[in-house]
Structure 1
Amino acid sequence: MLIGELAKLAGCEVETIRFYEKEKLLSAPERSASGYRHYRSDHLGELNFILHCRSLGISLAEIRQLANFRADPSLACEEINQLIDQHIKSVHQQLESLRLLEQQLLTLRQRCQHSSDAAHCGILQTLVQAAEGEPCACHGALPSQTAN
């Protein structure tokens, strides 16, 4: 099959396939005399594997590791477990960062309760003051930080 057909079957863009080939995550296809890539069904399996991993937020480096295990199924899976455990830990850290960001934005939003012009917008004033080096309400002590 040609690259467009592979892209359609996998539900991705042609450029995505080219990127994964360049990154050596997707094995190189054979080429015709005229230079067209010709893919086999195993390329679709590889591509779907990559796309599924990416949908889970797994990095390219981690996908390389998982692909090595996929290529040699006799290997012990402890490293796979550790990789996923580390990924879960990273997701927890991202969630905590997002919760903090949400609190900061909520605090910032409270600075402007009524519609008016930009000159009197509490949000804009807070952002400008922070840019000028003054303490800012959104990065001050948050309720979760003062609960001790």
Structure 2
Amino acid sequence: MKIGELADATGTPVVTVRFYEQQGLLPIPARTSSNYRIYGGEHVDRLAFIRHCRTLDMTLEEIRLLLEFKDAPQADCGAVNALLDAHIDHVAERIAELKSLEKQLKALRSQCEDIQAGKDCGILSTLVVSARTPAAKRVHEHVHGAHPKTPRAAK
């Protein structure tokens, strides 16, 4: 099958198929005499594996490692288990961060219960005040290249 057919068969954009080839995740396909790429069932299976891993939010490096183990079926899967455990820990950290973000957003949302003029909006006022805090100033300075002043030595 040609690249467009592989893309259709797996629900993957052609550009993504090419990207996975460039990243070494998909084997280089054979070519016809007219230089068209020809993909087979192994490409469909491997691309489906990659896509499933991506739905689990795995990085390309994690997928690369899993594919290495998949390609060595005699090796034990201890490293696969460790990789998945590390990924689970990462997901748990992200969930905690998202819960914290949700809490912050709900607190922010509570600053403006009624629809009113923008100048009286508690959300906008809170965001403006928050932007003036020392932490926000340090972030602004870091992003824009300024360095915060060195604290003076305690007397």
TM-score, normalised on structure 2? Answer: 0.83
Unmatched 5+ residue regions in structure 1? 137-148
Task: Report sequence identity in percent.
Answer: 43
Structure 2: which amino acid aligns with 1:56? L
Aligned residues: 136
SS at match of 2:28: coil
| Pairing 1:23-34 to 2, within 5 Å after superposition | 23-34=23-34
Specify the alignment match of 1:72 in structure 2.
72
TM-superposed deviation, 1:32 = 2.4
Q: Does 1:96 align with 2:96?
A: yes
Decide whether aligned partners of structure 1 residues 130 and 116 sit closer, same or farther in structure 2, where only a CA change above 3 A counts.
same
Deviation at 1:134, TM superposition (A): 6.8
Q: CA RMSD in A?
A: 1.5
Residue 128 of structure 1 and its aligned partner are, at CA, apart by: 1.2
Could you tell me which residue of structure 2 aligns to residue 55 of structure 1? 55
Aligned pairs (5 A) from 1:1-148 = 1-133=1-133
Amino acid at match of 2:4: G
Divergent runs of 4+, >3 A: none
- Write the distance in 1 (CA, Å) between the matches of 2:47 and 2:78: 24
CA distance in structure 2 between the aligned counterparts of 1:35 and 1:122, rounded to whole angstroms: 63
AA aligned to 1:3 is I
Q: Could you say which structure has the greater relative contact order, defined with CA pairs below 8 angstroms and 6 or more residues apart?
A: 1
Higher mean Cα deviation, 61-70 or 29-38?
A: 29-38
Structure 2: unaligned runs, 5 residues or longer? 137-155
Tell me by how many angstroms 1:113 deviates: 0.8
